[in-house]
Structure 1
Amino acid sequence: MHIIILLLVLTNVVASHSSISIIKTLPGFPGNLPFKLETGYIGVGDLDNEQLFYYFIESERSPEDDPLMLWLIGGPGCSALSALVYEIGPLSFNYKKSRDFPTFVLNPYSWTKVANIIFLDAPVGSGFSYAKSWQGFNMTDTISAAQTYSFLRKWLSNHPKFLKNQLYIAGDSYSGKIVPMIVQEISDGIDARIEPIMNLKGYVLGNPVTDDNKDKNSRIQFAYLKALITHEIYESAKTYCKGEYTNVDPNNGLCKLYLQNVTECTQNLDIANILEPGCSMYASPKPKLLTWDRSILMEQDFPDFLLSPAQPPASWCRVYNYYYSYEWANDKTVQRALGVREGTIKDWARCNQSILYTEDVPSSLYYHRNLIKRGYRVLIYSGDLDMAVPYVGTETWIKSLNLTVESGWQPWSVEGQVAGYWMQYAEGIYSLTYATGGGHTAPEYKPKECLAMISRWLALYPL
C-alpha cells in the first residue's frame, strides 16, 4: 500500500514537472499539419511554481542534422505565438479568407525549413505561461534568464535525441537583453559540467534591445539620417540636450523646445517601420504628446494595447493583423487543441502590457563582451527602417566591442535584389555577422530575405 502511495506521489511530481502534447491538427488549418508540432509545459523555479508553455516544431528538412534553436520574443511579455505566426514559424493567418474564424496558410519562408525551433512563452505572464502563486509573476531580467536556462535543461533532458544537435539561442526585440544572459548561463554550466551538457554554438539577435537608454537615444540620429528632421533640428537637439534625449533635465528649456520639434516631425510615423502607415488601436485619437521623454518612447513600442479587440477595420494597417491572433488564441477549442491547462490564464494577449516586470539589467553589453572569449558564432540583424531599436545604436555598441573587421560593409542579395547590407567581425575563433534590412522585427517585413539570411549563416556561407 505504501509503495502504491509513493508511486502516485512520484507520478504527480513528474506531471507537475512537465507535460507534452503532440498536435496533429489545429482549428483553422485544413487537414493534418504537414510538420511535427509539440506543445507543453515545463515547471521551473521553487517546486516548479512557474509553468512555462512552449511550442516545438521539428525541422522540415532533417531534424537529426539541423540545428536546435530556442526562440524568445520581446516585450517583455509578448507571446511566442506571435513569432510563430507573424515572423519565422510555418503558419500564417489567411487574411484574405478569414471571415467567421481565423484560418491559416503555410508560410513558405519559415525558419523551420532549416532548424528545429522551440518557441517559448517567457517570462511568466507571457502567452500561456503562468505561475501557481502570485509571487511567481514578479519577474526581472535576471530571474527570466535563469528560469529560461532551467527550462532548456529540463527540455533537453526530456528530448535527449537533440543533445547532439548544434544549439543556438535566439530572439528579437527585448530578448536582446535576455539572450546573452542565457548564453552566459549555459556557458558557465558547460564549464561546471552541469548535465545535460549542451552543444552550444552561438546566438542570434534581431532588432535587439541592448542598452535601453542608448537604444532610444539613437532615435534622434536615426530620424536625421532618414530625413525625418532637418540638420538644424538635429544639431540643435544634440547641442542643447548634450546627447541625452530620454532623461531630460526638466529645467533645460532649449532642449525640450528642440525635442518638441522632433516629436512634431515623427509622432505620426509607424515606429516599427517608418515607411508603413501609422495606425491607432484606439476608438478615438489620443492627444498629441509634444515631449520626447521616456513615456512617449515607451508607449510607442507596442501599439496593440487592447486585450480583446473587435474586428479589424476595413482599411489596412499591419498592426490590425494582430487582431487575428487574439481571436484565435482566446478560443477555448483552440486552447484545448494546444493542450493549454484550463483556468490558468484569463485572457491571452499577444503582448501582455500588465506583466509585473522589473528591468534589473540596464545593458547586456557586458555579456556580449564576456562571451567573445568563448569563440561563439553570432548573428545580429537590424531593420534599417526600424525606429524602435535603430540600427545606428546597434552599430555603435557592436563597434565598441573592438573586434577586427573580417569582411567590410557590402550588400547582400536575394534573387538578384539587394535585401540589405552586412559585414563580419572576428576575434580568434569568435565571429560576429551584422546585417540590415526590414522593419521591427525584420522577418515580419522581409520573410523571404530573412530565411535566405539565416540559411546562409547557419550553413557558414557569406550572406
Structure 2
Amino acid sequence: MYPRLIWLKCATLLLLVFCWKALSHNVVETLPGFPGKLPFRLETGYIGVGESEEVQLFYYFIESERNPKDDPLLIWLTGGPGCSGLSALIYEMGPFTIDYANSSGSLPALVYNPYSWTKVANIIYIDQPAGSGYSYAKTWEAYNTNDTLSAAYTYEFLRKWLIYHPQYLESPLYIGGESYCGLVVPLVVNNIYNAIEAGSQPPLNMKGYVQGNPATNKYWDTNEKIPYAHRMGLLSDSLFKSVKESCKGNYVHADPNNVPCQKNLERVAECLDKIPTHNILEPWCSLMSNKRDLLSWDSSFEEETKDLLLSMNPSKTSWCRPDNYLYSYIWANDISVQKALHVSEGTIKEWLRCNMSMHYRPGKQHGCYMFDVQSTVEYHRNFTHKHCRALIFSGDHDMVVPHTSTEGWIDSLNLTVQSDWKPWFVEGQVAGYTEQYSHNDYQLTYATVKGAGHTAPEYKPLQCFAMIERWFSELPL
C-alpha cells in the first residue's frame, strides 16, 4: 500500500477529532457581478496557523477545470509583501476577471477568463501574511512577522490544507509566486523538503516550483536596474559608461562622498523619472509617486488606495494601469461580495490590493513586517541536488526585477545547459526566449515573456497560459 494511503487511513480519526476547529471552508457557486452559476468549482475559507492558531489565512481554491484528480496542485503567493491573492486571481491567471467594457462606478461586472491557469491545474491563492487581503490575526502581536515566519506559516497552511483535502495528497505539488515572494517561495520549498526528509506527516508529493519576475537577491536585482535601463535604450552609451566608471558598478551602495558618481546618478534619475518600472512601455500616471528611489524596491504600483483611485480625474482621456485596479477595490469591499466569499464579518477594516504597511524599503521596518532575508540564491543552489523541476519566467519589460538580474543568478548556479537560448512561439509568433538547464535530477526552465511587465500573466495572458500548460505537461516551451 502506498505510504500516503497508509497515512490517510491512520489519520482519519485524528482528523475528525482534532482538526475540524482550525478550518472554515465553503463552496461558492455564484458571485456578485458574474452572470449565472460559476463554471468552475470555487472554495474559500480560513486556516489557522501559528501559536494557538492566532493567524487566520484566507484562501481561494479553484479546482482544475480539466482533470482535478490527475492535474497538479499549485499554491500561488502574490508579491508585496502584503498583496492579496485576489489580485493574482483577478488580474493574472484566475478563471474570472473584470469585464471592463461593461463595468461602471457601481459593482463591477465579471467575465470568464479563457486563459486561466485553472484549466490545467488546481490552484490555491492565499492571502499571506496576516494583514493581506482578507487574512487577519486575533491579536495585534500576531501581526508581527518576517520573511522566514511568513514562509513557515505558508508551509503550515499547506500541510493543514492537505490534511483537510486528502484527495489532493497524491497530486503533483508545486509552489508558485512572483515579485517579492521570490524571496519567500524558496523558503517554503526548503521547508517542504526538510519536512519530507524528516518524515513529517502528511507526506507531500513535492515536484517543484514556479516563479515569475522573482526578487532573489536584493542587491543584485536593484543594482541591475541601471545596466538594464541602458540595455533598453533609456540611457545613452556615454552616460552609462560614465556612471559605471565613476560608481565602479556599485550603484546601490555608492559612496555619498564620491561627487562624480552622485552627479551621474542624478542624471540617471532624471532620465528615468517618468518611466513606469513595472512596464517601461506603459504611460506614466499622475497617481504614481514623483519621489521615487530608483535604487530601492519599487512600490509605485502598490501605492494606490481606493480613495486615491476614486479621486483621479474622471474626465482624463489617457489610460494607465492603476485604472484597472480601482475595480478590485470596489468589488472586494462590497458587503454582498464578502458575504458570497464567506469573509468573517468584522475581521478587517478594508480590503487592500496591497497592504503598504508591509511594503519593502531597504533597511527599514514598515508596520509589523521585518525583512530578514536578503538573498535566496543559495536555496536555489541547494535545490539543484533534489529531484525537482523549476520554471522561472520574466517579463522582459520589467525594471523592478530586470530579467538580466534573474539570468545572472541562474548562471551562477553553474548548471548544465540542456537547450541553448532560443525563441518559443505561441500562434506562430515569438512569445519570448527560453533556455533549459539541468543537474542530475534537477531541471530548470527559464523563459522571457516578450513585451510583458512585472506580473507577466497580467500583460500577456495567452502566452503565459501556453507556457504553463506546456511546462506542466513536461513539453518544450
TM-score tier, shorter chain, comes to over 0.9
Aligned to 2:441: 429
Change (3 A) 1:107 1:62: same
Deviations 1:319-371 (A, max 9, x none): 21000000111111111110101111001100000132111010011110111
Residue identity opposite 1:447 in structure 2:
P
For 1:137 and 1:383, how far apart are their aligned partners in 2? 32
User: Amino acid of the residue matched to residue 89 of structure 1?
Assistant: G
Q: Distance in 1 between matches of 2:291 and 2:159?
A: 48
Preserved contact between residue 305 and residue 352 of structure 2 (Cα < 8 Å): no
The TM-score, its normalising length taken from structure 1, stands at: 0.94
SS in 1 for 2:385: helix
Report whether the alignment pairs 1:345 with 2:345.
Answer: no
- Is the counterpart of residue 45 in structure 1 residue 50 in structure 2? yes
Q: Secondary structure at the match of 1:374?
A: coil
The 8 Å contact of residues 102 and 327 in structure 1, kept in 2 or not, is answered as yes
Query: 1:299/1:25 Cα in 2 relative to 1: closer, same or farther (>3 Å)?
Result: closer
Greater shift in the superposed pair: 407-416 or 249-258 = 249-258
Q: Distance in 1 between matches of 2:210 and 2:304?
A: 26
1:281-333 Cα distance to aligned partner (Å, 9 max, x none): 26xxx5566x6553xx5343634255663176443111210000001111111
How many Å apart are 1:419 and its aligned residue?
0.5
Q: CA deviation at 1:422?
A: 0.2
The answer to whether the 8 Å contact 1:131/1:137 transfers is yes
Residues 212 and 455 of structure 2 are in contact (CA less than 8 Å); yes or no, is this contact kept in structure 1? yes
Residue deviations 1:99-122 (CA, integer Å, cap 9, x gap): 122110110000000000000001
Q: Is the 8 A contact 2:48 2:157 kept in 1?
A: yes
Taking the TM superposition and a 5 Å limit, the aligned residue runs for 1:158-169 are 158-169=164-175
Aligned equivalent of 1:7: none
Equivalence for 2:409: 397
Among 204, 208, 213, the alignment partner of 2:214 is 208
AA paired with 1:309? L
- The alignment partner of 1:354 has SS state of helix
8 A Cα contact 1:307 1:348, kept in partner? no
SS of equivalent to 2:309: coil
Q: 1:366 aligns with which of 359, 378, 385?
A: 378
Which whole-Å CA distance do the structure 1 matches of 2:241 and 2:306 have between them? 38
- For residue 300 of structure 1, what is the aligned residue in structure 2? 300
Change (3 A) 1:292 1:21: closer
1:111-170 per-residue CA deviation (whole Å, 9 max, x = no partner) reads 000000000001111100110001111110000000000000000000000001100000
Match of 1:235 in 2: 241
Query: Which one of 313, 335, 339 corresponds to residue 336 of structure 1?
Result: 339
- Equivalent position SS for 2:33: coil
Residue 415, structure 1, aligned to residue 427, structure 2 = yes
2:75 to 53, 57, 70: 70
How do 1:82-97 and structure 2 match up within 5 A? 82-97=87-102
Q: Secondary structure at the match of 1:309?
A: helix
**Which of 155, 160, 179 lines up with 1:154 in the alignment?**
160
> 1:443 matched to which residue of 2?
457
TM-score, normalising length: structure 2:
0.91
Q: Within 5 Å, give how 1:4-403 maps onto structure 2.
A: 16-99=21-104, 100-281=106-287, 287=290, 292-294=294-296, 297-300=297-300, 302-305=302-305, 309-310=309-310, 313=314, 314=316, 315-355=318-358, 356-403=368-415
Q: Aligned with 1:373: secondary structure?
A: coil
Tell me, which stretches of 5 or more residues in structure 1 are unaligned?
Answer: 1-9
Identity of aligned residues (%): 54
Q: CA–CA distance in 2 between the matches of 1:45 and 1:208?
A: 26
CA distance in 2, matches of 1:13, 1:342: 25
- The Cα of 1:264 is off from its aligned counterpart by 1.0
Separation (CA, whole Å) in 1 of partners of 2:294 and 2:275: 14
Contact 1:301 1:388 in 2 (8 A): no
Counterpart of 1:441, as a letter, is: T
Contact 2:309 / 2:322 at 8 angstroms: preserved in 1? no
Deviation at 1:248, TM superposition (A): 2.7
The 3 A distance-change label for structure 1 pair 408 and 293 is closer
Which residue is 1:456 aligned to? 470
Any idea what SS the aligned residue of 2:184 has?
Answer: helix
- Structure 1 residue 280: deviation in Å? 2.6
Q: Is the 8 A contact 1:307 1:349 kept in 2?
A: no
Distance 1:156 1:15, change over 3 A: closer
Aligned partners of 1:208 and 1:170: how far apart in 2?
A: 10
Residues of 2 paired with 1:192 and 1:137: CA distance? 29
Aligned residues: 448
Describe the SS at the equivalent of 2:443. strand
SS in 2 for 1:87: helix
The one-letter code sitting in structure 2 at the alignment partner of 1:85 is: I
Q: Secondary structure at the match of 1:298?
A: coil
Matched residues in 2 for 1:148 and 1:194: separation? 16
CA contact (8 A) 2:79 2:178 kept: yes
Runs of 5+ unmatched residues, structure 2: 1-14, 359-367
Separation of aligned partners in 2, 1:112 and 1:349: 24
Separation of aligned partners in 2, 1:217 and 1:252: 17
1:238-284 per-position Cα deviation (integer Å, ceiling 9, x unaligned)? 111122222332212211111111111111111111111121326xx
Deviations, residues 397-450 of structure 1 (Å, cap 9, x unaligned): 000000010000000010000000000000012110000011111100000000
